[in-house]
Amino acid sequence: MSVVALSSKNPYYISREIDWMLMRDAYGGERYVKEKNEFYLPPTATQIHEGMIWNQPGWHAYQAYRTRAVYHELVKPSLMAMLGVMHRKGPDIELPSKIDAMRKSATFNGEDLSWLMQKINEQQMLLGRYGMLLDVETGAGAAAIPYIVGYEAESILNWDSTHVGEGSGPRKLGLVVLNESDFQRRAGLTWTQVLRYRVLGKADEIRDVWGDLPPGNNYVAAEVQASSTVSSDVFVRPSLAGRDLDEIPFVFVGPRDLVPEPDIPVLMPLARMGLSIYRTEADYRQALYMQGQDTLVVIGQLASIDNSRTRVGAFGSIELPANGDAKYIGADSGGIGEMEKAIQNDLKRAAQLGAQLLTERGNEAEAGAALQIRVASRTATLTTVAQAAARGLEEILKHAARWVDADPDQVHVAPNMDFADDPAQAQDLVYLMTAKNMGLTLSKRSVHGWMKKREFTSMEYEEEQREVDDEPVSVVPGTGVERGIPGQGGSAFPEKASTVAKDQPGGSTE
């Protein structure tokens, strides 16, 4: 089987290729977008008429037109803001002891699981998919544990899950082809690109393409370079301590699910809006440029007269015959304001799509309920992305557990779902305790839980109570009431004050 066949692409891949290119360019920023020239910024009719071939007048005019245009980089800041919101807190991950080391070193390069979760989220939103392969070092001993290799959307060329199993059960992957081409350093300091592919499959699927394999239908894999001849002989059964797998340990993760077919990137509408603004900006800057390039028109001067010495400005002069005239004419500025307004309106729409996610706040702190409602209306996508990433990471870790003969049911991944930055202030605690003292049914343990969630304290309730009991108390002047003074010892909960107050004249008897 030739390498050309290995480089074949799944139809769903082909349908998304142009979207991925757009997202990569939008994320890369102005240089990447402008390097695509007419693909993103069509030339004007005049530029085409004057010739778009290199060094022709139209080509020079287009280069100036493109250079003046401003590309507002919306995708990368939005993506960074979303990742910041999603990873204010790390995910909660439970693992069986046999693979617990993966918590701190999960990938081939030694990155931890929290880092891997961020990478998954980044690729879900940027390209709409990410792939993870579970692999093991060749000849690994019984004490070895697998590691995870990540694949971005463009590297997952081909796959098939339709020919595995029968009936209406869940689909199982039968074949995956990955592009692992990379640059390698040759003798000296020169580099060259090496075409390399990794083929993953169930043995029955591989037999259909490459011929005979040993009996069974377990997971097999092959690494193939362009100069190699592909046959069934290059496939091996990856094993760990004599254990192989009956499924391909590869997981697709999209923004909503774990199916192999790529989804629309979450930030695609923002990338398209950025291109729309870019094209309007080009026309707007062109109009501004033309406003500053008035043309001198001389009326009454014959063409036969030598005009080469005509000068304008403080030290210039124009010689005209009787009844002659000279004036400047320029482009009409009537549409410039409308173009500027259109750009501002598009930027506002871009902000709504995510360019300023969770940053559109006034100078005053918002009430907690208002903040939660506003955030909830803008984080439905983030919630879906976070849940899909957690399921995908959990699935690949379950493969790891099975491979080392651990219990996969002990693997649990829960993403951070607290996207709202809800900073509590000291006055909030005063209001809460006032309501409690007025009869609100609320225990001290519940108050402490509220304080811990908002990072007033890092201690558990029992530990906090022991600290409170060990602190000295002081008497509030004029009352005889014992109460803790923040920063000087004493209870953080005014329970003792309430108890003593019951014995004071007019005190509560409840």
The DSSP bridge partners found for residue 414 are: 92
Residue 433 lies in a domain: yes
Compute and round to an integer the Cα radius of gyration of the chain. 34
Could you tell me if 321 and 300 are in contact, meaning their C-beta atoms sit under 8 angstroms apart? yes
pLDDT in the model for residue 189: 85
Residue 26 lies in a domain: no
Task: Decide if 478 is inside a domain.
Answer: yes
In a domain, 454, yes or no: yes
pLDDT tens by residue, 416-446? 887 765 555 667 778 888 888 888 888 888 8
Three-state DSSP class for 434? Answer: helix
Instruction: Identify whether 243 is part of a domain.
Output: no
Q: Domain residues for 437?
A: 426-501
* Residue matched to tokens 């309730």: 461
**Token couple for 429:** 């605690």
Sign of CA dihedral 65, 68, 73, 74: negative
> Under DSSP, is residue 404 helix (H, G, I), strand (E, B) or coil?
coil
- Residue 480 within a domain: yes
**What's residue 473's pLDDT?**
66
- Is residue 224, in this structure, part of any structural domain at all? no
pLDDT of residue 224: 82
- Could you report the per-residue pLDDT of 296-346, keeping only the tens digit for each? 777 766 554 555 566 666 666 677 777 777 776 666 666 787 888 888 888
Q: Which of 329, 354, 374 is the last residue of a domain?
A: 329
Final residue before a domain boundary, out of 279, 310, 329: 329
Q: Residue 481: inside a domain, yes or no?
A: yes
pLDDT beneath 50, residues of the chain: 1-3, 163-165, 304, 355-367, 371, 485-510
Burial class (CB in 10 A: 0-12, 13-18, 19+), 103: middle
Q: For the chain, how many structural domains are there in total?
A: 2
* Beta strand spans in 73-206 (E): 92-94, 130-135, 147-152, 156-160, 175-179, 182-185, 191-194, 196-202
